[in-house]
Amino acid sequence: MNEAIRQLAPQAMWNNFADLNAVPRPSKKEEKVIQFIKSFGENLGLPTYVDEVGNVIIKKPATQGMEDRVTIVLQSHLDMVHQKNVDTVFDFDTQGIEMWVDGDWVRAKGTTLGADNGIGVASIMTLLAATDIPHPALEALFTIDEETGMTGALALKGGLLDGTIMLNLDTEEDNELTIGCAGGIDVTATGVYSTEKPTHTNAFQIGIKGLAGGHSGIEIHKGKGNANKLMNRLLLNLSRQFSFEIASIDGGSLRNAIPRESVAVVVINDSNVAAFQAEILKYDAILKHEYQTTDPNVYAAIESTEIPSNVLPQAFQHTLLRSVYACPNGIYRMSPDIAGLVQTSNNLSRVLVKDGTYSIQCLTRSSVDSEKTDLQYAITSVFELLGAKVEYGGSYPGWTPNPASAIVKLMSELYQERYNESALVNACHAGLECGILGTNYPKMEMISFGPTIHGAHSPDERVQISSVQKYWGFLLETLIRIPKK
């Protein structure tokens, strides 16, 4: 299946991508890919260094005639989001990604593809291995754990890199030059409750499934359905009509992915079964109507299941549903200064309630730190009213745009020259590592770009083949035009 990928142009880059995708590399479990990249650099005879947390740095001298140019840092992250369809049997810890060509796109078979940020990694590998591509001195920085905390970038020490310009290869539209991004923080509410024995006699599993999901930063403005919010809406509305007991709720997975699925187990009495099932069918029709554009495959379903051993107390169930209902989700504020840019948002990414414990996870983003804190406290207030313990983690800064920098001017002019149109120079609502890396390298100019990737952080992830070719040519020409020291 992956052999067709290896025949695509530029062939060396696609071969490196295929080799990379054969290595399991989910976030937090990057040991194999760290060793893979380390061996890659060492086998080329290039100076290769692995820091204390697993970031890999490989340095390559300038090609002949380019020795007087500024040293360039090329940066991408090694980890990938691990998401799969519910009916896909796949182990991200042991298996390589199965890819296929779909017209002008490369996709994966039922899983995330890893083009985010594997295309960037493969591009850097290709430049490191090439003997016929002119370039200035290169410092390749491969960071770890970008997708679930940016801990690699946060831990990178100053003094390891000499470059004064960094090209971050992690943007997902080939007509964009990104020069700023949002910061973020994880907000987690946890607690315990006293379980009770179920008093009703019919148990059902309710599912909200078929949502598109996607990147909780760059796609948060698209109005996609959030499975956790939609499940909670259903349960709260049902509670206004029926007496039932919730045994468990399990929705979402990763903080940086818009939740695609949620499952709840409930118990009701005999007299309510038919009416209860009918309400689920009504809600299914509502979802299909409301989300026909953004999530055309969404559905609500109900099926019988075994009687659970315990359920939530009614008082806690009442408060829990209202707390989740009140939790902000989606866009909190648009930027008043940059048209179309989401300034602050929240993703209610994970709801797990079962066997006397609960955990509710959010990823809050903003390009304005004070507003990020405001939303963080709004979420905290909601769950403190539930009696939860609210904790914060994974905080990282935003990246302040510098549109006057020399590399922005150079690449903007080059884009206009090559494609006879202006590049979209912007900031994004995703979390890029540039802002973090800039704390220890404050004089380094940075810019982010890449090929067109759609559906990142979901099994619909795909990368456009023609766009990769466009991006690759743009990258090579950029390296040729890097200014002298």
List residues with catalytic annotation: 79, 146
Q: Bridge partners of 168?
A: 75, 448
Q: How far apart are CA 392 and CA 385, in angstroms?
A: 17
Provide CB contacts within 8 A for 399, sequence distance 6+.
Answer: 179, 180, 181, 427, 432, 434, 435, 438, 446
Calculate the CA dihedral of residues 231, 234, 237, 243 and round it to 10 degrees: -90
Q: How far apart are CA 124 and CA 177, in angstroms?
A: 18
Q: How far apart are CA 76 and CA 449, in angstroms?
A: 11
Q: In terms of residues, how long is the chain?
A: 485
Q: 370: burial class by Cβ within 10 Å (0-12, 13-18, 19+)?
A: exposed
Residue in the structure block whose two tokens are 């020069």: 179
Q: How far apart are CA 40 and CA 204, in angstroms?
A: 52
Q: How far apart are CA 195 and CA 320, in angstroms?
A: 14
Q: DSSP characters for 444-467? A: -EEEE----EESTTSTT-EEEHHH
